[in-house]
Amino acid sequence: MGKFVIRAVPTGVRFDLYAQNGQTVLSSETYLTAAACRKGLESVRKNAPSAPIEDRTGEWISPQRNPKFEVYTDKSGAFRFRLKAKNGQIIAVSEPYATKGSCLGGIDSVKENAAGPQIEEALVKML
């Protein structure tokens, strides 16, 4: 099973979801407080397992309701996904992937690992 790690960064608090193999599969936005970060993490736990996928990489897009995963290409041409909450706000984003297939595999990993992993907190204040 994967794990969430909540950590302090110079501008606030973030979380990452790691798969069983230790790879980062999802990273949050930066929150101002640890409490807000934990709330975002719980939103991933709640929404990721059943969220549909909206593929935004082709000419034709099949819109999905939030919460959802959106697959897209970034400015460098890499594939990424973001998880959106029910209100449409972006909860977290992926690392870049070279292929759409590996990006979709990343979504599968989030769905598999998000529901019940342990949470580690590394909230040492950054200097």
At residue 43 the predicted structure's pLDDT band, cuts being 50, 70 and 90, is: very high
Q: Give the predicted TM-score (pTM) of the model.
A: 0.88
Q: What was the pLDDT predicted at 59? A: 83
Q: What was the pLDDT predicted at 2? A: 84
Token digits of residue 102: 């590996």
Flag whether pLDDT at 125 surpasses 80.
no
The overall longest dimension of the chain from CA atoms, in Å, is 47
Tell me how far apart the alpha carbons of residues 46 and 67 are, in angstroms, rounded to a whole number.
10
At residue 28 the predicted structure's pLDDT band, cuts being 50, 70 and 90, is: very high
Give residue-wise pLDDT tens across range 53-104: 999 998 888 899 999 999 999 999 999 999 999 999 999 999 999 999 999 9
Whether the Cβ atoms of residue 15 and residue 33 lie closer than 8 Å to each other: no
